[in-house]
Chains A and B, each alone.
Chain A
């Protein structure tokens, strides 16, 4: 579903990604861990071209993102993204946040978009918040709305960039619960996270990134209990 080949990304002189190779299968849940500044966000953002790719190939659902013929807007409709800071639209209420893209991009009628949004709000447990504005919600509620907003485009895969890092500890669980449910339904997911419990329980595979490279990967059991690389061991020792 996602094929990454020798991906490099520079910010000016600074080489942030130094050759990433990675295949992600349909319905796979891949968790990306690693120290801050190692390039996890940049990697994720290259998958939907929020960052331009310096060199290498990223093929999503059969479409090569570096090909100038590729319609990046249409590729993005297949990739949902959830941000650390939620990035809800503060001038629109919850249901308008969710309805906007289905109406403008998928050309759904107002009623169809509304029905879809209500179903998704139910799914994330926020039906009664439809008419509220983002500013009136807790962080956990905002992030669940953001997930619903991404799902409203019916994407084939979802990218999560530290979705719970900006949340108070007591609100982390409700967001992880929604993500867990999504994984069980067979959604293809790439999740940058510091929640090792989630990675262990839900992840099919864990990638450990350091200094712009995937240093080690494996199933959670392997990677957490029997890491091969010294760097992985060092990182896990620090955070566990």
Chain B
């Protein structure tokens, strides 16, 4: 085994992998932030009594959940410009994909958490004279948010891993850089192992942070 793989040589590629890591984090963070906003809006749409709002939210969620991320990415990057006549660069497209995709799943997390709050909480709020919005804001939402954290963390991890699929639409993220290096230098084992370790480092860090947040909120 000794000498067959050049692990030390990986160091030379760290700057390039670092660039990839930068894009992976950029797309994950911006995409998930927008996804979180979309999820909040469409999740509340799914608990709305308004039929149109409910219908729109449902269509969005079903379309996204019913199609693969890879298809969504390719469609948005290659097909959408042919319809709109407007070209989006690959990084923007990548952010859009992650935002739209995570938004649908986060919407379901929001819906599930809001609906998991006992009916009596809304009734108690309303019987005190708070209006629907005030009750949502001060009573339902804070409790639902707490219950959202574990499944949200899960979704964040899934979305971060999904960014690796964006290499097919030429987003210069971690996986893309790895493939570029490996195909030029024939060091697939070293490079793909390193890439995997990078992803693991991100997701483990996130898990760790989430566990701390959960514990903090639990004390209250």
Contact = CB atoms under 8 A, between A and B. Distances in A.
B121 A76 contact: no
Contacts of A146: 124
A88 B143 CA distance: 12
Contacts of A175: none
B125 to A, nearest CB: 8
A50 B146 contact: no
A150 interface: yes
B220 A101 contact: no
A136 to B, nearest CB: 11
Nearest to A135: B220
Interface residues of A, number: 25
B152 to A, nearest CB: 17
B128 interface: yes
B100 to A, nearest CB: 31
A101 B143 contact: no
Interface in A81-133: 81, 83, 85, 87-91, 100-101, 104-105, 133
Interface in B121-178: 121, 123-131, 134, 138-139, 142-143, 146
A69 interface: no
Interface string B91-131: 00000000000000000000000000010110111111111
A76 B127 CA distance: 6
Given A89-B139, A91-B143, A91-B146, A83 B129 contact: no
Contacts of A80: 127
Interface in A148-184: 149-150, 153
Nearest to B124: A87
Interface in B54-95: none
A85 B134 contact: no
A149 B124 CA distance: 10
B124 A153 contact: no
Contact of A50 (B126, B129, B134): B126
Given A91-B143, A133-B220, A153 B120 contact: no
B129 A153 contact: yes
A68 B130 CA distance: 18
B124 A76 contact: no
A79 interface: yes
A66 B207 CA distance: 52
Nearest to A50: B123
Contacts of B139: 89, 100
A133 B220 CA distance: 8
Given A83-B120, A89-B121, A104 B127 contact: no
Contacts of B142: 91
B123 A104 contact: no
Nearest to B145: A91
B75 to A, nearest CB: 42
A42 to B, nearest CB: 13
B143 A76 contact: no
Given A104-B134, A133-B220, A77 B129 contact: yes
Interface in A41-81: 48, 50, 73-74, 76-77, 79-81
Contacts of B134: 104-105
A50 B127 contact: yes
A105 B138 CA distance: 12
Contact of B129 (A74, A85, A87): A74
Q: Which of A74, A104, A150 has the most CB of B within 10 A?
A: A104
Contacts of B143: 89-91
Contacts of B126: 50, 73, 76
29 contacts: A50-B123, A50-B127, A73-B126, A76-B126, A76-B127, A76-B128, A76-B129, A80-B127, A81-B123, A81-B124, A81-B127, A83-B123, A85-B120, A87-B120, A87-B123, A88-B124, A89-B124, A89-B125, A90-B143, A91-B142, A100-B139, A101-B128, A101-B130, A104-B134, A105-B134, A146-B124, A149-B128, A150-B127, A153-B128
Interface of B: 118, 120-121, 123-131, 134, 138-139, 142-143, 146, 220
The 10 A-B pairs with the shortest beta carbon distances in the complex, nearest first, are: A77-B129, A101-B128, A87-B124, A87-B120, A81-B127, A105-B129, A76-B129, A73-B131, A91-B142, A91-B143
